[in-house]
């Protein structure tokens, strides 16, 4: 390559290059924002119903191209094809949901103290939105940001993760094929240091929506505040499961493993800690290890595989360093813990599903987000201790409780310090119509998806119309 391109390799087989992208430079950021600003003046004039029709067409096109897009993403970041296909179809569902949102009310008529006044409020678009997305959900996360931004009348400049730039090109093409006018959606591949910072600092961008690391999120928020820009952050998680002695242990073990190991643990909502009452600790561990043993690691394109590689060499190094840290701090590996170097793995970034026992709440593996197939099991005396330890974290995204006790279930719903609560379900999972987001350092407070998205992507305009002078 000539130094101006970025190679994209298959994390299941790093000797296989699947393509390349051309990173944008600062001047191209200016051009993209200029195009978005120009397109905004026309796009906002369309009715939300007309804008929604473009999203509906995009949903149909995305669904028709789901196999190709899913295969591309699997090769690019390693997620199993069946999981990636489900994500693409989820993207189509999100587009259809927001197409219908274009038919909902955007304001309300209010009573006025003056009988000659008509007083009402209406939601209006913000302008050019900077959308910055991660690699772990290369289709769903961009779409659940872009779709509401567009239907409410904004234009978008989108910077995807460098790890999934080829997939991003295919997603942008879907919108183009659906008839989205030029300049309404602008894709810029490139680094956060160059493209991301330029978007945040550009005087013509009105708001920033970001999903990624807490470190980058804090830096972004500081820059946004300095410019009085609206910002939305969805950040990390350290999601706990609590298993009580009255729970269905087989169900709890199965869903805990799925929550921890699905998509190779590379989800902000992945299960990372499980608190188990001491009276059922041993039988639960037996079931947990039994379900873990069923996992088959390999290339995500192989239908027999149930867990793919981590997304990159950088992620591989991060996850293996946490496994070493767990051992150094005195935790015991109950299952896995090894990188897989056998020739059958082609030098790919494969790590066994890993379960730690003898973990305390002060250990690094119980406190920091790992973003890989690693689960820490912690023994507790009872529910109150489990709840206190589950809440003892800077994060607050998702949490699960397995129990048949309704009193404890409702207590957990009330007192778990997270944005999303599951009772007898895994920590992951979100539906397009439901608000998505966390508390504490997992979120800046606003919510994505559902009708809650309107709160971020629009502003109120209040109108007082006097009909008689």
SS3 call for 76 = helix
Whether 234 is catalytic: yes
Q: Collapsing DSSP states into helix, strand and coil, what is residue 136?
A: coil
* Spatial separation of the C-alpha atoms in residues 17 and 460, rounded to whole Å: 48
Phi-psi region of 348 (alpha: psi -120 to 50; beta: other; left: phi over 0): beta
Q: Which residues contact 59 (CB under 8 A, 6 or more apart)?
A: 92, 93, 95, 96, 99
Q: What are phi and psi of 244, to 5 degrees?
A: -95, 165
Q: Which residues contact 326 (CB under 8 A, 6 or more apart)?
A: 333, 356, 359, 363, 364, 365, 374, 376
CA-CA distances (angstroms) from residue 335 to 292, 311, 439?
8, 22, 32
Buried b (16+ CB within 10 A) or exposed e, 211-221: bbeeebbeebb
Q: How far apart are CA 186 and CA 181, in angstroms?
A: 11
CA-based max dimension of the chain: 85
First vs last C-alpha separation in the chain: 72
Beta-sheet strand order (sheet of 107-110): 107-110, 117-125, 458-466
Are the C-beta atoms of residues 129 and 149 closer than 8 Å to each other? yes
Active-site residue identified among 163, 234, 277, 426:
234
The alpha carbons of the chain give a radius of gyration, in whole angstroms, of 23
User: Who contacts 222 (Cβ-Cβ below 8 Å, separation ≥6)?
Assistant: none
> Which 3 state secondary structure label does DSSP give 232?
strand
Q: How far apart are CA 370 and CA 272, in angstroms?
A: 8
β-partners of residue 158 are: 131, 187
Catalytic residues: 234
């Amino acid at each position: 390559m000539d130094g101006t391109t970025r190679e994209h390799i298959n994390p299941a087989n790093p000797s296989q290059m699947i393509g390349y992208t051309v990173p944008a430079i600062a001047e191209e950021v200016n051009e993209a924002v200029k195009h978005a600003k120009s397109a905004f003046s026309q796009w906002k004039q369309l009715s939300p119903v007309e804008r929604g029709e473009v999203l509906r067409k995009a949903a149909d096109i995305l669904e028709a191209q789901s196999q190709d897009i899913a295969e591309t993403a699997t090769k690019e970041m390693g997620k199993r094809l069946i999981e990636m296909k489900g994500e693409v179809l989820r993207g189509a569902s999100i587009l259809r949901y927001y197409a219908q949102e274009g038919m909902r009310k955007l304001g309300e008529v209010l009573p006025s103290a003056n009988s000659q006044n008509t007083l009402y409020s209406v939601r209006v678009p913000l302008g050019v939105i900077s959308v910055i997305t991660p690699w772990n959900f290369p289709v769903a996360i961009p779409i659940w940001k872009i779709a509401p931004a567009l239907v409410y009348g904004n234009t978008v400049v989108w910077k995807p993760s460098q790890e999934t730039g080829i997939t991003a090109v295919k997603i942008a093409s879907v919108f183009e094929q659906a008839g989205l006018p030029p300049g309404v959606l602008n894709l810029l591949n490139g680094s956060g240091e160059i493209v991301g910072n330029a978007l945040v600092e550009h005087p013509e961008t009105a708001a920033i929506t970001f999903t990624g690391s807490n470190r980058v999120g804090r830096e972004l928020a500081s820059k946004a505040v300095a410019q009085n820009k609206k910002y939305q952050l969805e950040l990390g998680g350290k999601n706990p499961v609590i298993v009580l002695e009255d729970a269905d242990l087989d169900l709890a073990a199965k869903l805990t493993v799925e929550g921890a190991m699905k998509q190779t643990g590379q989800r902000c909502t992945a299960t990372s800690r499980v608190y188990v009452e001491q009276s059922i600790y041993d039988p639960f561990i037996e079931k947990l290890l039994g379900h873990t043993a069923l996992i088959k690691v390999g290339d995500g394109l192989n239908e027999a595989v149930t867990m793919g590689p981590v997304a990159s060499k950088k992620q591989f190094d991060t996850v293996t360093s946490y496994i070493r840290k767990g051992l150094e701090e005195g935790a015991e590996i109950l299952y896995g813990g090894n990188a897989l170097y056998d020739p059958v793995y082609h030098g790919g970034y494969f790590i066994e599903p890993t379960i730690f026992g003898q973990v305390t709440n002060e250990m690094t593996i119980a406190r920091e987000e790992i973003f890989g197939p690693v689960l820490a099991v912690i023994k507790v005396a009872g529910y109150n201790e489990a709840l206190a330890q589950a809440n003892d974290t800077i994060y607050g995204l998702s949490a699960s409780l397995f129990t048949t006790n309704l009193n404890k279930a409702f207590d957990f719903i009330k007192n778990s310090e997270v944005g999303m609560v599951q009772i007898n379900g895994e920590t992951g999972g979100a539906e397009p119509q439901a608000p998505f987001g966390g508390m504490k350092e997992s979120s800046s407070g606003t919510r994505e998806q559902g009708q809650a998205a309107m709160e971020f992507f629009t502003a109120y305009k209040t109108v007082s119309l006097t009909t008689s002078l």
